Amino acid sequence: MLDNTRVEPAAPTGLICELLSHPQTTVITNPRPTFGWIVNDCRRGAVQSAYQIMVASSEDKLKNAPDLWDSGKVASDESVNVRYDGKPLPVNSVCWWSVRTWDGQDKSSPWSAPQQINTGEAPAGEPFYSEQWVDVTPGDSTNRVRANRHPLEVHPFPPVVLICKKPGHYLADFGRAAFGTITVPITSKMDGVEVEIRLGEKRGADDTVETNPGGSVVYRSVRLTLKKGTHTYKVVFPTSNYGIRMPEHIGEVVPFRYCEIIGSPSEIRDEDLVQLAVFYKFDDCASSFVSSDDTLNDVWELCKYSIKATSFLGIYVDGQRERLPYEADAFINQLGHYCVDREYAMARYSHEHLIDHPTWPTEWILFSVLIAWEDYMYTGNADSLHRRYDDLAAKSLPSLAREDGLISTRTGLMTQAVLDSVHFKGKELRDVVDWPHGSETDGYDFAEVNTVVNAFHYRALMLMKSIAEVVGRRDDAAKYGEQAERVRVAFNEKLFDSAKGVYRDGEETDHASLHANMFALAFGLVDDERKLSVVKFIKSRGMACSVYGAQFLLEALYGVGEGDAALDLMTNSSDRSWPHMIYNIGTTVSLEAWDAKYKPNLDWNHAWGAAPANIIPRLLVGVEPIEPGFRVVRLRPQVGSLKEVSAEMPTIRGKVGITITRDAQTYRLKCIIPANMTAEVHLPTTDSSAVTESGRPAAKSEGVKFVGLSDGRSVFAVGAGEYDFSV
């Protein structure tokens, strides 16, 4: 619980520089970096009225006489994305910064703990840093820096179970799969003794590592040649010759949960065997979720850990088999990462890499616009929108539009100039809908004018309208609004089957798939009078899509208040479910597909299969930003049949906490809103007089204001602090 007895703000916490929570671990090459912090004030309505930042070339000077920048007291409520405005930062140096804040009563906080930043160019030849360069000032290519991210970390883990099958033969279970390797001390009486080390993701019969796991499930065997005496051996793998490479100082890794040791001449103890797991910097305590449904809790833990486990390259990739970034994977990974950790740099790094290195599906090109918008909404930082605006405009694919606004890759408009404008190096873009084709597309009939592609096009145009407004391109914003409306009209006139009440897969077909309808619904193309029949059809199809498609199926259902149906899809025991992954297959990281029978070459480490990592916090718990950078947050839970829910979700301004308990008579929602943030709280009643807060009528409670009804709910506006609503 919060300490509401405090009468003044505490020292700011959660300092970030260039969206990095630990900038001291990398190099800040932007000469005018941005700063951010969490306003540490738990009182109701707590706001920041002013701040003061100091930057110095040493920690001692920071405390006594800052020599680089003293902002003085700045009257502002900005606590994220505050631009450095001092002397030029010394190159290749260590600097320190600190901040204090003032509250609404003009009382100042103590100074924050100092944060170290390292300035200068990235080390030459360091494989961790990308060759991607970005403009510091939009349009100014003469002043360029490398995109920042945290370095990778190596974490040692002992086995949770070590089985001695017979002398010299062991099986270790590390509890969860991770990308890494192992170290083990072994004693030998002579040189030349060979020991076999088997690593794998799948457990075989009779306490072994499965040597024939199928598909792209990982199994590796390495033989160690021992030296006389006791030595600690590290398993070393050949460097991967495909995809994104591991940094040389860390070395090659493989994903594994199990380790089998065969032929050891000495005893292996629990404390001897170590899994060296590689992760991007991750705060396991940044988020939490517990509900009255144990299965849903397990789904959450699977998907949260999947975001962490697949971070091993410092960029969002599709998994072990290819180790390549893909836009659709990155979008789901991005949203999941935002919801489980207060981390934003890896998403931006992945996004800007993909702008310059796009992949082949038509929809994936359009995804760049969706990714860019979520980056802005969760960070409040528009730098990337400014510098990549022209690229995003091209990636909305207006060049493929015919007169009515609908686009196609099959009408002769996909010229080399179009491909060049989106930086695609291949010969053509191809519509994907879902993957793999056949088992996961619900019989989709690929027509010349593709319904799913045009749903994406509409969404991209609507977001480009908003992006243009953010970067000050008002004429462009009006243009995108007109284009989007033209697409919406044509989409509903030419792709909707009025007799059946559903959307067809394309202009030249009568087939209607789940995908044509769920993307139309998720992206706001379905008019109110058509929603009933479209939703009925979507619900009738169940999970007739891939783990990727599930992201948008669940978004579509939650978007129209079908929380019960969405909850069932996340918790049922069919072979198209996350419980199937956990309980039947036995994975600890989300899969590339529901089951090998739907994708025979699937891998067991694919973050695009972790949609509930974002769906549960964003849509079931209902915590989403209304204004960029979480200046305003919406709490609109859809807990379905759950009796209890408790969650914490990280934001750039601090954690949002929410607890819901309900029975036949009462619905109770307790929430904690960080300082310098306001919230809309949506409660399930149209009678606002039936709502109390901390035992008082909500309308008369301090800091609570009834603002109206929305979708059958009473909406109350609150400031920072702790609240206890009951219906």
pLDDT for residue 31 = 87
Closest among 585, 592, 601, 584 to 550, alpha carbons compared: 592
CA distance 427 to 348: 27
Q: Which residue has the higher pLDDT, 133 or 410?
A: 410
The answer as to whether 664 is a domain residue is yes
Amino acid letter, 319 = G
What CATH code is carried by the domain that includes residue 676?
Answer: 2.60.420.10
Q: Residue 29's domain is classified under what CATH number?
A: 2.60.40.10
Q: Of 589, 605, 627, which closes a domain?
A: 627
Q: What is the pLDDT of residue 124?
A: 46
Does 670 lie in the same domain as 552? no
d(CA 445, CA 512): 8
Q: End-to-end CA distance of the chain, in Å? A: 22
CB atoms within 10 A of CB 239: 10
DSSP state of 364: H
Q: Taking 60 as the threshold, does the pLDDT of residue 232 lie above it?
A: yes
Mapping DSSP onto H, E and C, the string for 413-468 reads: CCCHHHHHHCCCCCCCCECCCCCCCCCCCCCCCCCCCEHHHHHHHHHHHHHHHHHH
230 in the same domain as 109: no
Residue that is last in its domain, among 280, 303, 330 = 280
Q: Which of 135-144, 179-188, 673-682 has the lowest mean pLDDT?
A: 135-144
pLDDT at 134 over 60: no
Average of per-residue pLDDT across 434-459:
97
Q: Which of 7-11, 153-157, 361-365, 691-695 is the least confident region?
A: 7-11
- 1 domain-assigned: no
CA distances (Å), 371 to each of 339, 342, 354, 465, in order? 15, 17, 10, 15
Is there a single domain that holds both residue 722 and residue 587?
no
| For range 398-402, the mean pLDDT | 97
pLDDT at position 6 is 55
Q: Give pLDDT tens digits for 555-592.
A: 999 999 999 999 999 999 999 999 999 999 999 999 99
The predicted pLDDT at position 123 comes to 47
Q: What is the mean pLDDT of residues 531-554?
A: 98
Q: How many percent of the chain have pLDDT more than 70?
A: 95
The answer to whether residues 553 and 481 belong to one domain is: yes
**Residue 362 to residue 89: CA distance in whole angstroms:** 43
Report DSSP letters for 25-84, one per residue.
GS-B--SS-EEEEE----STT----EEEEEEESSHHHHHH--SSEE---EE----SSEEP
- Distance (Å, whole) CA 455 – CA 460: 9
On whether residue 417 sits in a domain, the answer given is: yes
Question: 6 or 69: which carries more pLDDT confidence?
Answer: 69
Confidence of residue 203 (pLDDT cuts 50, 70, 90): very high
Task: Look at residue 131 in the predicted model and tell me its pLDDT.
Answer: 31
pLDDT at residue 125 above 50? no
123-132, 316-325, 583-592: range with lowest mean pLDDT: 123-132
Residue pLDDT, tens place only, 630-672: 999 999 999 999 999 999 999 999 999 999 999 989 999 999 9
Distances (CA, A) of 626 to 69, 91, 414, 577, 704: 33, 39, 36, 30, 18
Count helices and strands in the chain by DSSP H and E runs:
16, 34
Question: CA–CA distance from 602 to each of 188, 434, 566, 596 (Å)?
Answer: 40, 15, 25, 6
Look at the block and give the residue holding tokens 């060296």.
276
Q: Is the pLDDT of residue 233 over 50?
A: yes
β-strand 274-280 against 115-118: which pairing, if any?
A: unpaired
Q: Is residue 7 part of a domain?
A: no
What is the rounded average pLDDT of the residues 453-458? 98
> Residue 120's pLDDT band (boundaries 50, 70, 90)?
confident
Distance CA 613, CA 343 (A): 14
636 and 711 in a single domain? The answer is yes
Give just the sign of the alpha carbon dihedral 429, 434, 439, 444. negative
- Per the model's pLDDT, the better-predicted residue between 135 and 279 turns out to be 279
The pLDDT tens digits of the residues spanning 165-178 come to 999 999 999 999 99
DSSP conformation letters of 319-354: -TTT----HHHHHHHHHHHHHHSS--HHHHHHHHHH
Do residue 247 and residue 302 come from a single domain?
A: no
Q: How far apart are CA 485 and CA 448, in angstroms?
A: 21
| Residue-averaged pLDDT of the chain | 94
What CATH number is attached to the domain comprising 515? 1.50.10.10
By residue range, what is the domain housing residue 693?
630-726
Same-domain status, 423 and 548: yes
Within 8 A by CB and 6+ apart from 42, the residues are: 2, 3, 4, 6, 675, 720, 721, 722
- Ranges of beta strands (E only) in 190-284 are 194-200, 203-204, 208-209, 219-225, 229-234, 254-262, 274-280
354 assigned to some structural domain: yes
**Cβ contacts of residue 230 below 8 Å, gap of 6+?**
185, 186, 187, 266
Residues 457-510 have pLDDT tens digits of 999 999 999 999 999 999 999 999 999 999 999 999 999 999 999 999 999 999
CA distance linking residue 267 with residue 448, whole number of Å: 66
pLDDT value at residue 5: 54
34-38, 122-126, 490-494, 615-619, range with the lowest pLDDT: 122-126
* Pairwise CA distance, residues 540 & 77, whole Å: 49
Would 460 be classed as within a structural domain? yes
Q: Residue 582 carries which side chain, given as an amino acid letter?
A: I
Note whether 567 and 649 are same-domain residues.
Answer: no
Quote the percentage of the chain above a pLDDT of 90: 91
Instruction: Judge whether residue 142 has pLDDT over 60.
Output: no
- By 3-state DSSP, what share of the chain in percent is helix, strand and coil, each rounded to 5? 30, 25, 45
* Cα 521 off chain centre by: 22
Mark whether 667 and 608 lie in a shared domain. no
Q: If pLDDT is split at 50, 70 and 90, which confidence band does 240 have? A: confident
Report the distance separating Cα 550 and Cα 572, nearest Å: 14
The crossing angle, in degrees rounded to 10, of helices 514-522 and 528-541 is 130
The contacts of residue 664 (CB under 8 Å, 6+ apart) are none
pLDDT at 231: 97
CA distances from 416 to 196, 399, 422, 427 (A): 53, 11, 10, 8
pLDDT, one tens digit per residue, over 48-106 is 999 999 999 999 999 989 999 999 999 999 999 999 999 999 888 999 999 999 999 99
**Residue 447 lies inside a defined structural domain of this protein:** yes
CATH number where 209 lies: 2.60.120.260
Indicate left, alpha or beta for 263 from its phi (over 0: left) and psi (-120 to 50: alpha). Answer: left
User: Do 596 and 528 lie in a common domain?
Assistant: yes
The residues pairing with 725 across neighbouring beta strands, listed in sequence order, are: 669, 693
CA 132 – CA 117 distance, rounded (Å)? 21
At 205 the pLDDT is 93
Better-predicted residue by pLDDT, 289 or 135 = 289
Do 529 and 641 lie in one domain? The reply is no
Please give the structure tokens belonging to residue 676. 């310098």
- Point out the domain boundary residue: 280, 303, 334: 280
The pLDDT score that the predictor gives to residue 358 is 98
pLDDT higher than 80, residue 46: yes
478-484 own/partner pairs: CB under 8 Å, 24+ apart? 480/396, 483/398, 483/401, 483/405, 484/458
Judge whether 621 and 647 are in contact, CB under 8 Å.
yes
- β-bridge partners, 145: 134
What's the Cα-to-Cα distance from 187 to each of 124, 156, 163, 222, 232, rounded to whole Å?
40, 21, 19, 18, 9
DSSP string over 474-535: HHHHHHHHHHHHHHHHHHHHHSEETTTTEE-SBTT-----HHHHHHHHHTT-S-HHHHHHHH
Mean pLDDT (whole number) for 687-696: 96
Nearest-CA neighbor of 660 among 681, 686, 633? 681
- Domain count of the fold of the chain: 4
Closest CA relative to residue 166, chosen from 268, 59, 90 = 268
In a domain, 310, yes or no: yes
Say if residue 262 is in the same domain as residue 304: no
Residue range 133-155: average pLDDT? 56
